[in-house]
Amino acid sequence: LNVPSITLFGSTPGYRNTYVTDINRVIESESKVDPYKINKGDFSIGDIEDNKVVLKAKELLQLA
């Protein structure tokens, strides 16, 4: 633990599946998520732009 991370979420709710700290980041797709009925056909995680991930990685690197 205590390792910086970036977690990507598509069809599952990030708020329910992560513990956000100063060194952990979450990126969620723009998909509408129902936490009580997960859409297994929702592959919106693939729609997350690479640039968003790169920016979050750069943020974490600045903290190191």
The pTM (predicted TM-score) of the whole model is 0.84
> Which pLDDT does position 39 carry in this prediction?
94
Q: Where are the alpha helices (DSSP H) in 1-64?
A: 14-17, 50-63
Q: Which residues contact 46 (CB under 8 A, 6 or more apart)?
A: 10
Contact 17, 34 (CB under 8 A): no
Q: Could you tell me the residue ranges of all domains in the chain?
A: 5-63
> Which pLDDT does position 63 carry in this prediction?
83
> What would the two tokens of residue 5 be?
């991370």
> Which pLDDT does position 36 carry in this prediction?
92
Q: Note the pLDDT tens digit of each residue in 1-60.
A: 688 999 999 999 998 888 878 899 999 999 999 999 999 999 999 999 999 999 999 999
